[in-house]
Structure 1
Amino acid sequence: MPVRLYGAVVLVLLLTAGCVSPAAAPVTPVATSRTPAPAKVAHPWRPGDPQLGAQILWYAYPGETDASVRADALRLVNYMVRRQMNAMSVTFPFTTTGPTASRVAASSGTPSVRHLAMLLDTAAAAGLRITVRPLLDEKSLLAKDPLAWRGSLAPADRAAWFRSYEAFLAPCLTLAARHHASTFVLGVELTSLEDDPGWRTLITAARKRFTGELSYDANWDDYVSRHVPVPVEHLGVDAYFPLDGLGDEATVAQIAAGWEHWLDRKSTGTLPRIVLSEVGIIAEDGAYRHPAVWKGGGQGGAKPNPTVQKRWFEAACQVARARDMAGLYWWNLDFHADPDAAAPSDSLTSFLGRPAETALTSCFRTWPR
């Protein structure tokens, strides 16, 4: 169960349906002529190629403007091209009022459709493959129950929850269809709801708006313990496999063997239909034992350890390539980050400015295509 801090973002709950802020405009093509053209991907993704990218995590801030969004989008897309990526996934939050609530909605952290379109258009102009990925924020869940998370939802009225979710996703799906997305992730780590028949109705509705690939991202423990019954075309795995027996001195080979052990619990051999949708770890001592726990900045008292993070990235790359996986996305790039200004003293949850950054670039540069 991933437990992460996304920064000091105050989320004011806006119980308005839709992937859109109250003042956002309808989905229309967004001109970017005032912004320089992005760099071009050297080897654009083609069907059958691995998706090699990163998750851009976007919590909207008050005061974002068209100009600031275009500048942030251009900076990150150019960084991704320099780091040998051919794919981008944008993760953004939506919210609910508690673990048993029967409604979901946009929050103040949900970017507007207009601003999301600017990022998607910039990525498309660079030749990046695009995935759109709404993620249920856990802040309101934890306020009601410190053990709650998005995988333990228990809506009082499940049918109403799925109707509300369908209404929220509708403009997101239209956005994805009109702005070059190849994949739409219909759900992320919603473990307790995966058996619900509401998914079939949701998928039927989604197909009317988006004709690309529909996907679902399962939590790591859910993936290995059972069949994930959400009836989508492809499955992603948020890969935070705990390696209890490994200390900070573990080699890349030992970490890779630990990953293989976890994956073998599900199936052996190649996994050409599986995407590692999140691969990340905090750069501190002890992280191999609990990679899903992101305390941030040494708040748990552990010492910073960039080598732990670097070796985790190298092992994940090795395993994904050996298993012929459909892709790998590093977690994460903050939409507002400046990768060129990042320093190792910044948050330990980031790979920017650390040896792991070189490891991910090497991984993608040498991955057969």
Structure 2
Amino acid sequence: MTKRYTFLACILIFSLLSSCAQKKESPKMNVQKVKGISKINGVSLVASRDTLFQQNVEPLNELGANYVAIMPFGFIKNLGHPEIFYNQPRQWFGESVQGVAQYVKLLHENEINIMLKPQIWVSRGEFTGLVEMASEEEWLQLEETYRNFIMDFANVAEAENVAIFCIGTELEKFIEHRPEYWRTLINEVKNVYKGKLTYAANWDEYKRVPFWDALDFIGVDAYFPVSESKTPTIDEVKMGWERWKTELKAISEKENKKILFAEYGYRSVDFSGKEPWKSDREMNAINLEAQSNSLDGLYQTLWNEEWFAGGFLWKWFIVHERAGGEVDTQFSPQNKPAQTVIAKYYSANKY
């Protein structure tokens, strides 16, 4: 009898230990399901040649960012070339399939959600909206190579539990000439990826995109002109946004989708709100106040609107301590007064 009870006791103990082990090994819940996001407070993370480390993520936590856009690039030789090169050994680690997965994992560990946004870079920085083929044969080749590019990263997005996947960025001529292709591509992406979808339309393109009904967000690269002033005041920026705010709200209601700024931002230069899309080196008069006021006016105008989902600031560099600064004229707000403005709104609307 004693041996029998000893044997039963051992079985009971073994069962309890197994149960505890199973609970410890259960997979961590996807970050996008854990956090109740009120607004997408995002940054566009510039890929690096190096691995992402925790010290690179801490400034994002301090900023109050709850989303990061990861942007692996594919490259084409010119506006009429049909072949896209991507995930190449010569590319930076952060633009590779392996690098994207590493970035996503570490950001998820910090409870930061991801929008994966593969996009094209044309040689010499030519505008992607003008990519256009000269023949049917070349269009078909572009379609095939673009499909491969997008589907490879759609599979990464699904495998890594990415919250939002962006199917393209500022490709107006491509969409205009091949609208059926884009609907087919969206369906193919949906077959492998179960998260939210968007497309990043340029600020003067988004009203003509024909497939918003098939996506979850109306994505806009929001470089709307908002002020003619050298140093716009916050009130001037708010007034400059009123026209665009009315237009954006109307499109949101028409499509029954929220507006997502797939990109937004201002440079720290004179007249930063006049033509915010410009990145040329001729604009070199540093104006930190212009950048801060332009961002503050945008947040005050849009961030509390129900139809507005939030957005991704252009742009944020991984090595924070070497980025931006008070002599920098480009878009990054890092180590500038604008960073304080962003943190104020992001921290207040993080959850």
TM norm. shorter chain > 0.5: yes
- 2:145 alignment partner, SS class: helix
SS at match of 1:274: strand
Pairing 1:194–2:184 present: no
Q: What is the aligned residue count?
A: 306
Q: Which has the higher helix share?
A: 2
Q: Secondary structure at the match of 2:70?
A: strand
CA offsets, 1:219-260, max 9 Å, x none?
A: 00112x5354353221211111113x5312322122122122
2:339 alignment partner in structure 1: 357
* Contact 1:55–1:333, Cα closer than 8 Å, also in 2: yes
The one-letter code matched in structure 2 to 1:361 is A
Q: Tell me by how many angstroms 1:266 deviates.
A: 4.7
Q: Which residue is 1:7 aligned to?
A: none
CA 1:286–1:197 in structure 2 vs 1: closer, same or farther (change >3 Å)? same
Alignment map for 1:118-267 (pairs within 5 Å): 118-140=102-124, 142=126, 149-155=127-133, 156=135, 157-195=138-176, 196-223=179-206, 225-229=207-211, 231-243=214-226, 246-267=228-249
Residue identity in the other structure for 1:318: Q
- Stretches of structure 1 that go unaligned for 5 or more consecutive residues are 1-40, 143-148
1:150 is aligned with what amino acid? T
Pick aligned residue for 1:102 from 69, 82, 101: 82
Partner SS state of residue 288, structure 1: coil
The 1:254/1:166 distance shift into structure 2, 3 A limit, reads same
What residue number does 1:112 align with? 96
Distance in 2 separating the partners of 1:288 and 1:346: 17
Alignment of structure 1 residues 260-275 onto 2, 5 Å: 260-268=242-250, 273-275=258-260
Report the Cα distance in structure 2 between the residues aligned to 1:354 and 1:322, rounded to whole angstroms.
25
Describe the SS at the equivalent of 2:77. coil
* Separation of aligned partners in 2, 1:239 and 1:102: 28
- 1:53 is the counterpart of 2:60: no
Looking at structure 2, the residues matched to 252 and 44 of structure 1 have their Cα atoms a distance apart, in angstroms, of 35
Where 1:95 maps in the other structure, the secondary structure is strand
CA distance in 1: counterparts of 2:350 and 2:71, whole angstroms: 27
Which residue is 2:66 aligned to? 86
Cα 1:207–1:226 change in 2 (3 A) is: closer
**Cα pair 2:64 2:350 within 8 Å, conserved:** no
1:130 maps to a residue whose letter is: I
2:268–2:328 Cα contact (<8 Å) kept:
no
**How far does the alpha carbon of each residue in 1:78-134 deviate from its partner, in whole angstroms, 9 at most, with x for none?**
211111111111122111122122222215436221121111000111111111001
Kindly provide the amino acid, as one letter, of the partner of residue 35 in structure 2: W
Structure 2 distance, partners of 1:173, 1:218, is 19
> CA deviation digits over 1:131-175, x for unaligned, max 9?
100121132563xxxxxx101111233232122111122221121
User: What residue identity is the alignment partner of 1:200?
Assistant: R
**What is the distance in 2 between the residues matched to 1:280 and 1:367?**
18
Structure-2 change in CA distance of 1:270 and 1:363 (3 Å) = farther
Stretch moving more, 309-318 or 92-101 = 92-101
Q: What CA distance in whole angstroms lies between the structure 1 residues aligned with 2:125 and 2:111?
A: 38
Mapped contact 1:194–1:229 kept (Cα < 8 A): no
Gaps of 5+ in 2: 1-30
Q: Quick check: 2:203–2:224 contact (8 Å CA) kept in 1?
A: yes
Q: Give the Cα separation in 2 of the matches to 1:294 and 1:356.
A: 18
User: In the superposition, relative to structure 1, how do residues 287 and 274 fare at CA in structure 2: closer, same or farther (>3 Å)?
Assistant: same
TM-score, length-normalised on structure 2?
A: 0.79
Answer whether contact 1:113 1:172 (CA < 8 A) is retained. yes
State yes or no: 1:330 paired with 2:308.
no
Matching residue of 1:278: 263
- The answer as to whether partners of 1:51 and 1:87 remain within 8 angstroms in 2 is yes
Offset at 1:270? 7.2
Deviations 1:177-231 (A, max 9, x none): 11120111000111112242101221222122211112111100112x5354353
**Which residue does the alignment assign to 1:30?**
none
What is the distance in 2 between the residues matched to 1:150 and 1:209?
A: 26
Mapped partners of 2:65, 2:289: distance in 1: 22
